[in-house]
């Protein structure tokens, strides 16, 4: 295994924190962004908000100075603002787009500079099963997650010859604060629709992400890898 410098956005909790823990366990140099709180022990925590390009720039500069150029980027930070289409405000739509899509664009653009210089890069975008499946009450969120597929594929076409891959990991329902916020009857209903009959742990996503960043996955790019217990089959 080659030791790499890894940056994960939103590494203070949830899936991002698990991804950081797994990269640390495998012996990589790991940094996480956090707006509040800290990443796991063994990670460098840098303060950044993905909606604020200047804070991201400062975070990247700190990571580059302390750990070297980012070779593996996991764009994980994301939010939901669920409500039905006719009730969705411009603010609820735009806030989700600004975090989940524009925020990913900002970090990917910044990371690509170092990756092009290094002639190495692994860009992993955390999408969602609903990006391709759709979801009532999530017109804003699902639009951003399907947009990540176009982004990963365009990056692949632009930078594929420079030893840079870009892929989307599309989780289904994972046990984090995001799903805990769903009403219990809705959680039970989703579980009935998932062939695996359960939500996944964040670690089950983290292990797929670290594999996607490994040398074993060097020839995979522009792919959408589901981690969803079969929920999105056929998409």
Question: Does 60 engage in binding with ligand NAP (CB under 6 A)?
Answer: no
Buried b (16+ CB within 10 A) or exposed e, 90-99: eebbeebbeb
Q: How far is the CB of 97 from ligand NAP (least distance, A)?
A: 12
Of residues 121, 126, 99, 103, the one with CA closest to residue 205: 126
Indicate which single residue of 78, 114, 229, 232 sits in contact with ligand NAP (rule: CB under 6 A): 78
Indicate which single residue of 24, 60, 63, 76 sits in contact with ligand NAP (rule: CB under 6 A): 76
List the catalytic residue out of 23, 60, 93, 141.
141
Residue with tokens 């176009």: 150
Residue 31: DSSP 8-state: E
The interface mask with ligand NAP, positions 2-41, x = CB under 6 A, is -------xx-xxxxx----------------x-xx-----
Indicate which single residue of 72, 174, 208, 212 sits in contact with ligand NAP (rule: CB under 6 A): 174
Question: Does 104 engage in binding with ligand NAP (CB under 6 A)?
Answer: no
Active-site residue, 219 included: no
Contacts of 192 (CB under 8 A, 6+ apart): none
Q: Are 73 and 107 in contact (CB under 8 A)?
A: yes
Q: How far is the CB of 161 from ligand NAP (least distance, A)?
A: 28
Q: How far is the CB of 42 from ligand NAP (least distance, A)?
A: 17
DSSP track, 144-208: HHHHHHHHHHHHHHHHGGGTEEEEEEEE--BSSHHHHTS-HHHHHHHHHHSTTSSPBPHHHHHHH
Q: Cβ–Cβ contacts within 10 Å for residue 64, how many? A: 16
Indicate which single residue of 165, 176, 210, 221 sits in contact with ligand NAP (rule: CB under 6 A): 176
Question: Does 126 engage in binding with ligand NAP (CB under 6 A)?
Answer: yes
Q: How far is the CB of 32 from ligand NAP (least distance, A)?
A: 8
Q: Which residues are catalytic?
A: 141
């Amino acid at each position: 295994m080659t030791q790499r410098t890894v940056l994960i956005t939103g590494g203070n909790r949830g899936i991002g924190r698990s991804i950081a823990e797994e990269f640390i366990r495998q012996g990589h140099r790991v940094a996480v962004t956090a707006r509040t709180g800290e990443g796991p022990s063994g990670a460098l925590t840098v303060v950044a908000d993905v909606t604020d390009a200047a804070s991201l720039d400062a975070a990247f500069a700190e990571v580059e100075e302390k750990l070297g150029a980012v070779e593996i980027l996991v764009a994980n930070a994301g939010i939901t603002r669920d409500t039905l289409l006719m009730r969705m405000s411009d603010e609820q739509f735009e806030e989700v787009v600004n975090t989940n899509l524009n925020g990913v664009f900002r970090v990917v653009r910044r990371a690509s500079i170092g990756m092009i210089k290094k002639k190495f890069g692994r860009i992993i975008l955390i999408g969602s099963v609903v990006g391709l499946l759709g979801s009532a009450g999530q017109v804003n969120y699902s639009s951003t997650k399907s947009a990540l597929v176009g982004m990963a594929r365009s990056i692949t076409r632009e930078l594929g010859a420079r030893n840079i891959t870009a892929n989307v990991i599309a989780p289904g329902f994972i046990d984090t604060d995001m799903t805990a916020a769903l009403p219990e009857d809705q959680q039970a209903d989703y579980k009935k629709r998932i062939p695996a009959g359960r939500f996944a742990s964040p670690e089950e996503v983290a292990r797929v992400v670290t594999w996607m960043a490994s040398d074993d996955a060097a020839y995979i790019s522009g792919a959408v890898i589901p981690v969803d217990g079969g929920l999105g089959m056929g998409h």
